[in-house]
Amino acid sequence: MAEVDVAEVDRANETIPASVEELDLPTLNRLVRQMHPDATVTGFELVEARQRGEMVSTAGRVKLRLDYGPDSPPLPRDVLIKMCLDDDSAPTVLYETEVKVYQRILPHLAIEKPVCLAAAFDDATGRFALILEDLSVRDARFPNVLQPPLTPAEVGKLLDLQAVLHARYWNSPDLDAEKSWLSSLTEGRQFAFFEQAAPAWIPTYCREIPYRHDLITRVGRSAEHLWENVKAVHAWQERNLPMTFAHGDTGAHNSYHLPDGRCGFLDWQLSVRGHWSHDVHYTVCTALSVADRRAHEKALVERYLGRLKALGVPDVPTLDDAMREFGRAIIWGFTIGWLMVPPTNYPPAIINANLERLYAAVLDHRTLDLADAVTPPLR
């Protein structure tokens, strides 16, 4: 697929709406035509509009049913628009990242993904619009930790998808071409956000929320120490191990599963240049029950490594080395993935259940010892 036309993207960015009232036919057509120049939207029906505080999301969501002209290509009628409603927004680097992923990365990957009708971001205002097919029309299932856990077979399919993504960008010079917008786990605008937020948010939540206060007591070290561990692990991996393109937030809650067995990932806002274990550990540790993870994690990592080899990756690690980095990477899933999550983002039961699964993995893999082994002495 050809790259998205830059001039068309610029024109679409000029008309990014900030409210449901600003959604009209000229705006929708300008947005859609950046990716589908032959499409004509002739009408639409507003189905639903929800602010980001009304659901689990970093953005507002609007559902529309579209009508198309007779000469338009076959595109989904039922769509979901992610956007900032009434300028209520999260850090804008998250929006820019996801838009760029849909513009520059996903069109070139042969993986299951939603049909994208438009992806636009305006740096000046921080507004964005991402128009995707409504996957509920395909009877997609969206798991979370309060539902029955995914099976090892289902997790294996998610790791197969990750292998395709990781193999494509494994130590690739193409990663350098994306540095203007794609942060790494040690530098860039996304890292700058975490560097500012983590030292403030994590201690506050561990002090003010009783469950997290008790959990950090069980861990036996401060929130500040954990954040230093996270940064040290990522710096060590970046210096010593192959880098690739990582989805960055591969918890089971960001996956979807179709009736025919196919599966995919949503919410690419935390995509980064990083180590493969950043994605793999987070899927395995959040998607499976603790018992299933203990029984199947090694075989699942072995399956993932086999997929990398089959896809032509030249320097696939041994299983023993892979399991060590898998265990070291868990420091991020525990500390940033869920210990840092604002209590307004998810119900407490979801946050706590994910933390319990990840804490069990921390203990099983001696993650704190692995992280300490690459962390400079704290002052």
Residue 333: give its domain's CATH number. 3.90.1200.10
Kindly state the percentage of the chain with pLDDT values over 70.
93
Say whether both 344 and 245 belong to one domain.
Answer: yes
Answer whether residue 217 is part of any domain: yes
Say whether both 212 and 261 belong to one domain.
Answer: yes
Q: Does the pLDDT at position 2 exceed 90?
A: no
Answer whether residue 182 is part of any domain: yes
Last residue of a domain, one of 110, 138, 166: 138
Last residue of a domain, one of 138, 166, 190: 138
Say whether both 263 and 352 belong to one domain.
Answer: yes
For the chain, how many residues are written?
Answer: 379
Say whether both 124 and 158 belong to one domain.
Answer: no
Say whether both 219 and 359 belong to one domain.
Answer: yes
Q: Look at residue 345 in the predicted model and tell me its pLDDT.
A: 86
The rounded mean pLDDT for the chain is 92
Task: Specify the range with the lowest mean pLDDT, choosing from 18-27, 70-79, 181-190, 192-201.
Answer: 18-27
Last residue of a domain, one of 138, 164, 179: 138
Say whether both 63 and 156 belong to one domain.
Answer: no
DSSP string, 80-140: EEEE-GGG--S-HHHHHHHHHIIIIIGGG--S----EEEEEE-TTT--EEEEEE-GGGGT-
Q: Does the pLDDT at position 177 exceed 50?
A: yes
Answer whether residue 1 is part of any domain: no
Beta bridge partners of 120: 129
Give the CATH number for residue 110: 3.30.200
Where in the sequence is the domain holding 174, given as residue range(s)?
152-372
Question: How many separate domains does the chain show?
Answer: 2
Say whether both 114 and 161 belong to one domain.
Answer: no
pLDDT digit string, tens, across residues 61-119: 899 999 999 999 999 999 999 988 766 667 889 999 999 999 999 999 999 999 999 99
Say whether both 358 and 235 belong to one domain.
Answer: yes
